[in-house]
Structure 1
Amino acid sequence: MSKTCAACRSRKVRCDGVTPTCGPCSKARKLLECEYVATAASQVPKGPLLQKGTACYACRRKKKKCDARRPFCTTCEIAGKEHECQYEENVQRNLTEALLARTQELEERLAAYELQPGASSSSSVIAQSVVGPQPFLTTEMNDFLSVVGVVQPPSVTTFMSDHHSMPDIGLPPPGPAYQLQIPTPESDTRSQSPPELLQLLDMNYLATTTSLHELSEFRKTFISHHGQLGVSLPDTKMQAIVTGDLSGTFAHPVLIYLAQLIGCRLWQEQHHTVLNTGIEIVQLQLVNRALLDNPSPVTRLQVHSVLAIFFLLKRQMREGRDQLTQAALVAVQYSLRFDSPAPESFESMEGTSDETQEHICALSQLFYLDKAAAIVLNDPSLLSEEYERQFRDLPLLFPTISKNNLVVLRARSVALLQQTRRLSDRWTDLILNIGTAQYALTPNAQTQWYDDYWDLLEEVSDHIATLSPSMMKMSFYNQRGHALALKVCMIVSLTASAELHRLLAGHLPESRLKCIDTVFEIVSVTRGLKDEDYIFLDPILGTCWSMVATVINQERFAPADETATLQWKSSFTVIHSSASKLGHALPYMEDSVETINGVAPFVGDPSPSPP
């Protein structure tokens, strides 16, 4: 397409784009200044292509261009209509899909109730239900449901962190005997149940929870992603969760309720839908009631750690932080340590016991969450440096668990990244203090830094060597959940390696080449992520991709090889696109996305501004 000069554009004449003077201007009766000026539209860089459905609802309704910025896109912000800028996680995806899901849910409840004796009273139960708005649905959805009179749960309240102030749902008082059995088609337990339990099954259970089949689906979702949630349990407890065994023989009932709660949340995120809020409320109350029955310290630690993830997925930051604090208090109160179990050398020849592995994994998950919160949210650490020392010595005491357990591997990856960031800060301080009086007072600081650098580089390299075959093995056997978690570990560990090599890139050419190779390996692992994987990833990847984007921008500005310019642009596009997708799927990605956008604002610009 030929260019158009300013004179032809103002006269609305077709311009042939000839320079220095176009044909129409040369043939004009009066002298015209033929100038080619770039239009504003051509100067505006094109952003990355958005996935279908990622634009806000206001831009989709008005058929406007949307950049999907959070919390408000540029189009809505310029128009002054920020209140209309809403995205998928805040708005019901499809009204028809929601109504179909609600209809199916009501039909299943009615069918389950008709199987019970005295089903003729079902109309009275439904008549006692209350129609009210649900906080997880859109305003339009609540208005529609209020018109058609869809049955809502009789008691829906927000969660309070203090269990003494929680609404009562009619459960029997906590005690050692767990008589609450989920009825199955083969057996009816109504005749053996106390009156208050019959009332729960008739009204609250059937009105606020979902069907038995869906509860089973939630538990299966938990089992599929238990490694990513940091839960490592023996086979007997896993089987109890699969079957929903509430007898307490093999697993404490709080684990079954916890599996149904977090499984329900993950199921909704995975299927992009919103279920009845009463499901999560009841399961959350059951978890808190079961916690009053004094489960083991390790079980209590597992519950609080998973609840922290549950609230963070719901964007409830304060509640998530409270649960993480409760987990740290449990570890301190019950003196849970990494070195408290007997080392493997003193164990039987059959290997580490299930209790020891469960103990170490529960502590490792708390250690991981504490480090991740410090990196992503800049929160102060809840664990003392003594836990870092114990975790650092863990491979000496339990080498098998340290090399093969997913939870421990992930915790070590995040710990190494945090140590790398600290070492990088020390390097910056050393550079800034050269020639000052403070530098003269610490003559051995640089020597000590180099000693720590080489030790950390060796530790990171050994950890990557452990992760690489494990990741390939899980991918080969199609273990999607474990393979995805190991990819997260690999990206985090490779980021630590790239940052370490970047520190000496200006002094050692081998370090620069190694840094470049490591960045390309990170991009390769990131490119292998699928769209449905992002909901099961971790916000810490945003921090990793921000560090990688900094290296990419430096190399694009002064590439070691002129032929690598297109490769750097392609790599940045992968990082930028992946960070945007993760920002749409998970919370607390705003700072990382903003950092990546600020490092190289124009992905297609062949000559970005120097850092």
Structure 2
Amino acid sequence: MPLVRTCRPCRQRKVRCDGKDPICTPCQRARASPDCFYDQEAKEILQRGSACLPCRLQKRKCDGMRPYCHSCDGIGKPEDCQYDDGVHVSLRRQLEGRIRELEERLRAFEPSSDTTPSTTLSPVSDSTVTEAGSGTPNVGRVDELDLAPIRHTFLLHKAQVGLCISEERSLGLASGDTSKIPPALLQACQLWGNFVADGLDDAERLYNQRLLLKEAVACVDATSQDLEPHTALQTHCLVSVFFMAALRDGFSGREHLLHCAHTILKHEIHLIPISQTTENDSVSQNITVNENHIGILSMALYLDQNSCETVLKLPLILPEYLYNELDMIPDLYPRLGIDAFCVTSRCVALKFYRDARKLIAEWISDGCCLLSSGRWYDRFMKLESRTQAHLIHVKERLLVAIETSDDMHARALKLADMITQTTLLSLFFTLAPTIPEAHQKAIDALREILGITCSFQQHDYILLDPIPSILWNDCVSYIKKEANMECPILTTREMSTMLSVIKNHSELLSGKVPFIEVVVDDL
């Protein structure tokens, strides 16, 4: 009797598969509607000892894939997948090795005490701009640049980069009186402003970038230890965003996020500081709300989640207790100004999105066992309720921004709206095969996401980050699941139109923002 091939979901759930195309019978009947797909070719039988260490310890079936096997990837622990030959090390160890390598390179190029400070992090070597025969770099100085328009551009788009800056410093940037702004933060702001400024040709932008980046990195290296902790966090976050967005250098950007983590741990910084007071033998807790500090930490947490886990697929590096404190932020939304709210709402939305992915992964792996106990469904209801409450706050602020023609904050809030809607789409589509009401809510969320996508103009894309590509990939996956539903709500024409919209906008975004990869196939 010939062997029947087995799809990946049936193999993981240990269910007998009939090998039908395009979707097998067990996957059609599954409560979670998993993506049914088959390995292209049957893998050769692994030799004894070729399985990874975690699979061997847990006695799981291992396919020996590198850099991590499908079993470790399926349970959400690819960084733990290691082999006896030592060829593959965990992603965390790779990062640590990369950091040590960068530190050694920096030490090798550190100037002596009698030389002029320089940096090796500039994207363009000074040797490329030397004058013929002179041997000296033909590089100008930052104070020779016309920085007023660059600062003005930065202030117009600071919500996109996630900067929550005090009114005094905002006025200083606008007026040109930068005496009260730390030099490291000032250079980082100017560096980002140059990146998004209109009216600059490529040569002028690159020339400015070379000078500003050298100055910014030099200032950060020289003064980061003396900066007030929250100012140091802001500066490192801005430089991190620049490395990732402008230079497409994820590792250098992540290095500055590591500086943020060190600063937070060194100074024991909390998102919401809580102090205790004792009066008449009773203990009361006092919560200190500083919206600028909340905005600064939320900016770092958003970068950590977005660039490290969601885009680069690397572990989070900021302290876990900050993510736990993030759950308390929605209760403080009414007390936050628009700048702080834009930053924190995106950060909270992305955490809900990550929580939903973990919850759905548990559903797919354990299915009815979790549902029968009720614990999974209780967690589902709690996360769905918190996400809906968060969405109400975002919608209220977004409506005000649109009515007042506040494009900067509207653009940032649209991103928070998209992330939140994708969280709801993921949650509701999990129950869509068995609960018609959940199916309808999932389609409503999908339409909301596509509506927000269509509202972006071409000039908006340079001011966005890679997260829309992750959300669009989710939308493509759920549109394909909708096409395989027994009673789909969307017509084939509607689904094809949605896929076309996603494809067109992802191409626009990929031309402006790094780390974009959206796969859109025809139905």
Q: Name the TM tier (shorter chain).
A: 0.5 to 0.7
Whether contact under 8 Å (2:309, 2:315) holds in the other structure is yes
Distance 1:561 1:503, change over 3 A: closer
Return the offset for 1:461. 0.8
Give me the TM-score of the superposition, normalised by structure 1.
Answer: 0.58
2:258 pairs with one of 320, 325, 349: 325
- Is 1:420 paired with 2:356? yes
- Is 1:275 paired with 2:203? no
Q: Which position in structure 2 is the counterpart of 1:216?
A: 148
Note the 1:475-554 alignment, pairs <5 A: 475-554=402-481
Whether contact under 8 Å (2:419, 2:471) holds in the other structure is yes
Q: Which position in structure 1 is the counterpart of 2:187?
A: 257
Q: Which position in structure 1 is the counterpart of 2:170?
A: 238
Distance 1:246 1:499, change over 3 A: same
- Is 1:565 paired with 2:501? no
Return the offset for 1:397. 5.8
Q: Deviations over 1:178-220 (max 9, x none)?
A: xxxxxxxxxxxxxxxxxxxxxxxxx99982447443x112111
Q: Which position in structure 1 is the counterpart of 2:243?
A: 311
- Is 1:406 paired with 2:336? no
Q: Partners of 2:421 and 2:104 in 1: how far apart?
A: 40
Greater relative contact order structure (CA < 8 Å, 6+ sep): 2
Return the offset for 1:463. 1.1
Does the residue aligned with 2:291 lie in a helix, a strand or coil? helix
Q: Which position in structure 2 is the counterpart of 1:463?
A: 390
Distance 1:289 1:320, change over 3 A: closer
Return the offset for 1:555. 2.2
Q: Partners of 1:170 and 1:261 in 2: how far apart?
A: 28
1:581 pairs with one of 500, 508, 516: 508
Q: Partners of 2:501 and 2:412 in 1: how far apart?
A: 19
Give the aligned residue type for 2:211. I
Q: Which position in structure 2 is the counterpart of 1:298?
A: 230
Q: Partners of 1:255 and 1:342 in 2: how far apart?
A: 30
Note the 1:443-458 alignment, pairs <5 A: 446-458=373-385
Does the residue aligned with 2:405 lie in a helix, a strand or coil? coil
Distance 1:160 1:477, change over 3 A: farther
Q: Partners of 1:242 and 1:166 in 2: how far apart?
A: 35
Distance 1:244 1:552, change over 3 A: same
1:370 pairs with one of 286, 290, 304: 304
Q: Deviations over 1:380-424 (max 9, x none)?
A: 111343222211123346752298611111111111110111111
Note the 1:54-73 alignment, pairs <5 A: none
Return the offset for 1:587. 1.1
The structure having more radius of gyration, on CA atoms, is: 1
Q: Deviations over 1:260-318 (max 9, x none)?
A: 12212222798666431532344324532552560100000111111110100111121
Whether contact under 8 Å (2:261, 2:319) holds in the other structure is no
Q: Partners of 1:342 and 1:394 in 2: how far apart?
A: 17
Q: Partners of 1:545 and 1:581 in 2: how far apart?
A: 13
Does the residue aligned with 1:422 lie in a helix, a strand or coil? helix
Return the offset for 1:504. 0.3
Question: Structure 2 unaligned runs (5+)?
Answer: 1-101, 118-135, 277-284
Return the offset for 1:333. 1.0
Whether contact under 8 Å (2:371, 2:377) holds in the other structure is no
Whether contact under 8 Å (2:398, 2:414) holds in the other structure is yes
Return the offset for 1:472. 2.1
1:379 pairs with one of 311, 314, 317: 314
Distance 1:561 1:367, change over 3 A: closer
Task: Determine what percentage of the aligned residue pairs are the same residue.
Answer: 24
Q: Partners of 1:366 and 1:307 in 2: how far apart?
A: 12
Question: Structure 1 unaligned runs (5+)?
Answer: 1-157, 174-202, 603-607
Give the aligned residue type for 1:325. L
Whether contact under 8 Å (1:370, 1:382) holds in the other structure is yes
Q: Deviations over 1:523-556 (max 9, x none)?
A: 0110111111111111111111111111112223
Give me the TM-score of the superposition, normalised by structure 2.
Answer: 0.68
1:357 pairs with one of 285, 291, 294: 291
Return the offset for 1:473. 1.6
Q: Deviations over 1:342-398 (max 9, x none)?
A: 79x968xxxx87xx2221111111111111121222111113432222111233467
Q: Partners of 1:284 and 1:363 in 2: how far apart?
A: 21
Q: Deviations over 1:548-601 (max 9, x none)?
A: 1111122234474687322221111111111122122111113xx2xx23xxx2
Does the residue aligned with 1:506 lie in a helix, a strand or coil? coil
Give the aligned residue type for 1:380. P
Whether contact under 8 Å (1:261, 1:284) holds in the other structure is yes
Does the residue aligned with 1:490 lie in a helix, a strand or coil? helix
Aligned residues: 391
Whether contact under 8 Å (1:228, 1:481) holds in the other structure is yes
Distance 1:460 1:563, change over 3 A: closer
